[in-house]
Amino acid sequence: MDKYLNLLSKNYKNIQEVSEEIINLQAILNLPKGTELFLSDIHGEYEAFIHILNNGSGIIKSKIEDIYEKRLTGQERKDLATLIYYPEEKLNLIKKKNEDINEWYKITLYKLIEVTKAVSSKYTRSKVRKAMPKGFDYIIDELLHLQGDDKNKEQYYHQIIESIIDLNRADEFIIAISELIKKMAIDHLHIVGDIYDRGPGAPIIMDRLINFHSLDIEWGNHDILWMGAASGNEACIANVVRICSRYDNLSTLEDGYGINIRPLSIFATETYKDDDCKKFMPRNKEVSKYSNTDKIILAKIQKAISIIQFKIEGNLIKKHPEYEMKDRLLLDKIDLENGTVRINGKDYELNDKNFPTINLKNPYKLTKEEEEIVERLKTSFMQSEKLNKHVNFLYAKGHMYENFNSNILFHGCIPMKENGDFDEVEILGRKLKGKELLNYIEKVAHVAYFGEKIPENQDAIDLMWYLWCGPKSPLFGKDKAATFERYFLEDKEIKKENKNPYYNLINNEEICNKILENFESNIEEGHIINGHMPVKAKDGESPIKANGKMIVIDGGFAKAYQETTGIAGYTLTYNSHGLVLAMNEPFESKCKAIEEGQDIRMQTILKENIINRKRVADTDIGKKLQEEIDDLKKLLSAYRDGSLKEKM
């Protein structure tokens, strides 16, 4: 401790400085806790995602309603909210409509200052100042701290506003203060998995997350798939390309990450030139950017990469018997003469019997052309600068789970047995369960990406694919990925993917408490916050389980799921007053939001109020601050009793 106090004394040189810092930290402990926002299963839907960040999950709109309900019309309140959400675009519209733009600027600047005061009121002046955009920080700080009865400075503040307008800086100021409002609305963001796949904008979402001020990410199976692809896992690469072609979304690969698909496209169109590939047509019911001819090419690409995927996966399954996935070895069960495939001892008729690249004597061997395609794709994925930037960020901010303010966050499941015991999973020769399992998987995932590409680390790289679709993977949570069956068979029963027992057990409060205890959380106050399995709200399924201990926040953010769920996802917020879970209606478009003031409609379905308002002292950050205070008090004692000499 003496050594530590000596180090601490370099920052706090005397009694005066130590005392000031103790007073400051103790004051911070008594502020209300900041607002946390939880989102999951975004799946590339960047417009809806960015809108929720921009509106602070409804917080900004709520503040505007509180301040201006009786002072502005409904449309004026909408316009003010939209200006904050999309300042640059809204300003362009407003300047076309307003003849006296300077008068509009003056009125609007005062409104924005009022909203900023409201959203920043529970933070220290220092924290707000640090969040301010450089260049306007001094001006905003002055305007925020104008007292209503301060007649001596009234003209001073008016002159600041006038000068901003006269110097043609009003647009820049509005943009800057709008960004500050959005920062203050959400103190910390939790992404509970699955940023990638299906929707078109995962790279855009990742860029936004990289610039977000405070967040954590709990990896989903779709995230780990891309992480595995960037690590050079060929099975992960094939799955990524297949999913992008399936959802009419090759732009994510080509435009977003510079992945070269042309060799695969040429191979697919030549190999399947006489095949209509009907079962492989892209699943995009909206107006596509592709013509019908291009869609057929996409279908051929999807079929070509699917067969490549099944071959690569088959070799991985044979290499790793510990995966217990022999039931997924189906290419060698194909009988082309009869047009069937044998699964679990039963023959099923194939709806597609054209397999020109499969040698039934050695069905899992890639052809020479397929090998070349896989090698080119692998090089593209591993050398993509932008993809590696995003994957590095996923590792820097991401985990298998997070224990945050007594809530346990993870994407998929904790593998369990029917009797409620944690199930053991073999990972690289070690049998683990519960928290230990997730901790070890996280270490192995780091080795897969950051470790040297040497034979000793290949098993770690292989595991990334198992995490994507393995029967006991905590990120997948089902007994199989029935990809082959979905493409080639009509029988609905054989396509079923059975969920891990966890998904039935989480309705039991005792089971949820058992999980909370295993992850060292507060059983009395804690919750499990889960994504991954879409809640079918239209069928009456509730996201709230086990008397509120479990909250599932995957409600269909991705458009591909909205027919199943009937809604467009859930947003969960946790502020000083408690938890609020809202059910979202589909977001039409950014254009509608800007031009018409349309917002995402949110219906509150859970409001868990806390009797005693949560303070910073009650949070994880508060515990760390208290430790700092305790250390500073020891330093203060050392100065006072002469153990350490003050520095002047």
Distant-in-sequence contacts of 325-329, Cβ < 8 A, 24+ apart: 325/470, 325/471, 325/480, 327/480, 328/480, 328/481, 328/484
Is the pLDDT confidence value at 289 over 70?
A: no
Please give the pLDDT value at position 148. 56
Is the pLDDT confidence value at 287 over 50?
A: no
Find the angle CA(318)-CA(319)-CA(325) to the nearest 5 degrees: 45
Give the tens place of pLDDT for each residue, 303-349. 999 999 999 999 999 999 999 999 999 999 999 899 999 999 999 99
Mean pLDDT for 588-617 is: 83
- The region that residue 297 occupies, defined by phi over 0 for left and psi between -120 and 50 for alpha, beta otherwise, is alpha
In the block, residue with structure tokens 């205890």:
517
User: Among 576, 573, 620, which residue's Cα sits nearest to residue 123?
Assistant: 576
The two three-digit tokens of residue 377, written as one number:
């794709």
Percent of the chain with pLDDT over 90: 77
CA distance 581 to 536: 16
Cβ contact 219:94 at 8 Å: no
Please give the pLDDT value at position 637. 93
The two three-digit tokens of residue 153, written as one number:
């400075």
Please report which confidence band the pLDDT of residue 151 belongs to, taking 50, 70 and 90 as the band edges.
low
**How many C-beta neighbours within 10 Å does residue 292 have?**
8
Give the tens place of pLDDT for each residue, 401-435. 999 999 999 999 999 999 999 999 999 999 999 99
User: Among 607, 597, 616, which residue's Cα sits nearest to residue 55?
Assistant: 597
CA distance 175 to 623: 36
Mean pLDDT for 226-255 is: 96
Q: Higher confidence at residue 290 or residue 374?
A: 374
Give the tens place of pLDDT for each residue, 501-532. 999 999 999 999 999 999 999 999 999 999 98
- The region that residue 554 occupies, defined by phi over 0 for left and psi between -120 and 50 for alpha, beta otherwise, is beta
Q: Higher confidence at residue 511 or residue 200?
A: 511
Please report which confidence band the pLDDT of residue 194 belongs to, taking 50, 70 and 90 as the band edges.
very high
Q: Higher confidence at residue 292 or residue 463?
A: 463
**How many C-beta neighbours within 10 Å does residue 252 have?**
24
Is the pLDDT confidence value at 242 over 60?
A: yes
Is the pLDDT confidence value at 2 over 70?
A: yes
The mean of the pLDDT values for the chain is 92
* H/E element, 466: helix 458-469
Give the tens place of pLDDT for each residue, 19-62. 999 999 999 999 999 999 999 999 999 999 999 999 998 999 99
Give the tens place of pLDDT for each residue, 537-578. 888 889 999 999 999 998 777 777 787 777 778 889 999 999
* H/E element, 474: none
Please give the pLDDT value at position 286. 54
Please give the pLDDT value at position 606. 79
- Rg of the Cα trace of the chain? 28
Percent of the chain with pLDDT over 70: 97
Q: Based on the number of CB atoms within 10 Å of its own CB, is 54 exposed (0-12), middle (13-18) or buried (19 or more)?
A: buried
Give the tens place of pLDDT for each residue, 115-132. 999 999 999 988 999 999
- The number of residues making up the chain comes to 648
Predicted TM-score of the model (pTM): 0.94
CA distance 220 to 196: 9
